Amino acid sequence: MSRSLPLTRALRTAALLAVAGTATACANRVDPSARSDRQAWDVTYPSALDAVKAIDPRIKPQESGGGHKACHPKDFIGDSLDESEVVGSAYITLYASPSDKRSPTQLAREIVTRMERQGWEGPRPDGIAPVNGQVSVSLKMPGSGSATVTSGHERPTEAPAFNEVTVSLTTECLRNSDWHG
């Protein structure tokens, strides 16, 4: 039994060194000079909002923040998260005037074209086609996040039909600019 004691102590020491090394590596993974979530929003949100507003400047889009969630493991196993890195989301929706006769595809193409002019990468407007009357297009802003443009025709029972366009924005897992941990 005395033979296993030094081995156990050696294994414990090696395990503690491995844990300390992994924890240090994980803690150093969040580079303070890396792009932050706030910087990503400064790049992605205004261009998406401008593209939606341009559809009909007379109608104010509805904006809603989806919030953010942690995406950085705080321990080497990864079973718990801190908020040093986060993924954020937001939504911009425009309910077009019933007098607007553009199709959901045309509205989505206009938004995608405007967003691509601002640096977004997408399928190009000629690659956009409706599926069951609904259009959904994914775009990417390298190093910042992604967007999904959806457009469809709504037919309420007690009001004139209209088109709805929504841009859903999501950041990449980026440094939380408000994190002080």
Higher pLDDT, 125 or 56: 56
Confidence of residue 11 (pLDDT cuts 50, 70, 90): very low
* Number of Cβ within a 10 Å radius of residue 9: 10
C-alpha–C-alpha distance, residues 9 and 23, integer Å: 21
Residue 173 near residue 72 (C-beta atoms within 8 A):
yes
Q: What is the mean pLDDT of residues 60-87?
A: 79
Residue 120 near residue 143 (C-beta atoms within 8 A):
no
Residue 43 near residue 36 (C-beta atoms within 8 A):
no
SS3 128: coil
| 146-170 per-position pLDDT tens digit | 999 999 998 888 888 899 999 999 9
Higher pLDDT, 153 or 133: 153
Look up tokens 């941990």; give the residue. Answer: 181
C-alpha–C-alpha distance, residues 57 and 101, integer Å: 16
Q: What is the mean pLDDT of residues 17-39?
A: 52
Residue 139 vs residues 38, 44, 75, 169: alpha-carbon distances, Å = 19, 11, 33, 10
Confidence of residue 92 (pLDDT cuts 50, 70, 90): very high
Confidence of residue 113 (pLDDT cuts 50, 70, 90): very high
Which pLDDT value is given to residue 117?
A: 94
> For residue 35, which phi and psi values (nearest 5 degrees)?
-60, 140
pLDDT at 32 over 60: no
C-alpha–C-alpha distance, residues 96 and 49, integer Å: 15
